[in-house]
Structure 1
Amino acid sequence: MNLIEMENVSKSYGKQNVLDNISLNLPQGHVMGLLGQNGAGKTTLLKLCLGLLKADSGNIQVMDAPAWELTPAIKEQLGYVAQKSDTLHWMGVRQLLDYTGAFYRKWDNTKVTALMHRWQLDPKSKVSDLSEGQKQRLAIIQAIGHNPKLLILDEPVASLDPVLRREFIRELIDINIENNTSVLFSTHILSDLERVASDIAILRQGHICCQGSLDDIKERYVRLHLRSNSPLPRELPVQGLLHVEYSAHHLRALAENPDMEVISALEKQLNATAHIEPLGLDDIFLELHK
């Protein structure tokens, strides 16, 4: 079952086309990281899924209902952390969490209290007196206090220090395992994403240029090195070579699903040595944005 299904979705602001013919599925229990440079359309995509924006065209289903027409029963199963906190700053921390919990039948006050203590939030502090990192911690607690079925996060750890980022990742893993919660989140911190995401979608200029499981993407994209004592030809019969860099005796390229039999044949033909270099997600992301 897919908790989110997007099919041929487009969204523009005036003459600016932000998302163009996007299709994306998030299965139940999966954690998907949404990557892209600033302005790629990540926040717009997340807001479309929440029904905060309406698509110009295409279809978006969230828990089998149109995203623009989500019922209160479905909204009660959603958790959301926005990129910027915009909450009731005049309230106290505990007061705000009690107020938030009043909207949810399954609010877990024991869990909320434990998270406040673990994340060093003084329940008597005013929200307006909190640092940006503390406000982000508070927003995360608001989003997960009712153990949502679907959690949507827009740069949820941008203001957190490395220790608290690890705490948050641990909490995210626990939510996913204990409640089979699906998570869709955008982040620029790829090392954190690799710890928790099962799936990846990369947005580039309004299009999804890469989508799949994290393991499959790491297997799909590698860096090919080909070295020879003789000059290498400028054209090689290898499918899927991207961003090729040549010197007289060395070829370096991003390769998508390279045919190893073809590469072995080239080694013999050109008296060359091939080396396949595995890539981390950060390298793949950078290569796909060249």
Structure 2
Amino acid sequence: MIYDEAIVARGLTRYYGRTAVARELNFVVPRGSVTALLGLNGAGKTTTIRMLMGLLAPTRGHSSVLGCDSQRLQPDQRAKIGYMVEGHYLLPWMRVGDYAGYSSAGYSFWDSKLFNAIVREFGIEPSMRAGRLSRGQRAGVSLALTLAGDPELLILDDPALGLDPVSSRALNETLLQFAGRDDRTILLSSHSLNDVERVADRVLVMVDGKLKVDAALDEFTRRVGCWRLHSNGGQSGSLRSIAGLIDSRRVGESEYQITVADPDQETIAAIHRLDPAAERSDPSFDEAVVAYLSRHRRGSSFLQPVVEG
């Protein structure tokens, strides 16, 4: 069966005690897309992924993966999902080739040639024991095990964690090849913004368990603007009057840099009332993301813009 939406989350919420780790998440991952899930440590990304995979029950809300309720995924449905967990844990005593034989038993289709090609890309021989592999090589084995079953959907939780530049490049090239097929979908959680910008076409940004951004990658940067204000116009109390304010920070002794979501003519006029000489610049992708993840973040978002009083 063909689905236009590989993943759907509606009101997805998870509490631990009185603490909300994920709050009212509503998003769609289109089939055939590469969607990046971004956020600081503790933002709720792994909890969200575990709910999508049916490994953790939501406090409320629901989600579906490949048209199936996440909490009712059957073995044949899970076989269509390649899930790569954070950390790339492997049993140290097993040989890489044994891992392939063990894992292939759980799939109706197993591509041995693809598995071997991926591990070779990471400089690995099937006879090597997992305990002797570098972190990058363990990531390569994990990726090979994930892809050899020919999944329709890849869900990757921080796959580039701790990788050296060569291993990171090999990972990205493999993901790009996988994503080249229109019927394949990737949800990628990552802290590597350079990697995300290279492989993703959509971005989700979580802050304190809430979804703040849900947009195409190019749309995201278009909808964010930066301004430099002289300090006489950039007092923090005055900045709160700016609609859509994401972040403000002092730059040197005499200027502020502010980042604003969805600036319109009224917003621009408010900025120039504070400082007629304010200069606008277009942020790079990583600058826009970091502004959202800043410790000085405001409550504004693309989903529900807020004007602070």
TM-score, normalization: structure 1?
0.89
SS in 1 for 2:161: coil
- Residues of 2 paired with 1:103 and 1:70: CA distance? 15
Of 243, 246, 249 in structure 1, the residue corresponding to residue 247 of structure 2 is 243
What is the match of residue 154 of structure 2? 151
Is residue 282 of structure 1 aligned with residue 286 of structure 2? yes
Distance 1:133 1:242, change over 3 A: closer
Of 140, 143, 147 in structure 2, the residue corresponding to residue 140 of structure 1 is 143
What is the match of residue 68 of structure 2? 65
Pairwise CA distance, 1:284: 1.8
Distance 1:132 1:243, change over 3 A: closer
Pairs aligned (count):
287
Is residue 195 of structure 1 aligned with residue 198 of structure 2? yes
Of 215, 221, 226 in structure 2, the residue corresponding to residue 223 of structure 1 is 226
- Cα-to-partner distance string for 1:163-197 (whole Å, 9 max, x where unaligned): 12112111111111125311111111111110011
SS in 2 for 1:178: coil
What is the match of residue 171 of structure 1? 174
SS in 1 for 2:28: strand
What is the match of residue 257 of structure 1? 262
Structure 1, unaligned stretches of length 5 or more? none
Q: How does 1:1-290 map to 2 (within 5 A)?
A: 1-178=4-181, 180-226=183-229, 232=233, 235=238, 239-244=243-248, 252-260=257-265, 263=268, 272-288=276-292, 289=294, 290=296
Instruction: State the AA in 2 paired with 1:253.
Output: I
Pairwise CA distance, 1:15: 3.1
Pairwise CA distance, 1:103: 1.7
Distance 1:16 1:242, change over 3 A: closer
SS in 2 for 1:285: helix
SS in 1 for 2:149: coil
Check conservation: 1:136, 1:159, Cα contact below 8 A: no
Structure 2, unaligned stretches of length 5 or more? 297-309
SS in 2 for 1:9: strand
Of 61-70 and 249-258, deviating more is 249-258
Pairwise CA distance, 1:262: 6.7
- Cα-to-partner distance string for 1:101-157 (whole Å, 9 max, x where unaligned): 222222111111111222111110112222222212111111111221110011101
Instruction: State the AA in 2 paired with 1:256.
Output: A
- Residues of 2 paired with 1:192 and 1:208: CA distance? 21
- Cα-to-partner distance string for 1:41-100 (whole Å, 9 max, x where unaligned): 111111111111111110111111110111222111100111123444332101111221
SS in 2 for 1:10: strand
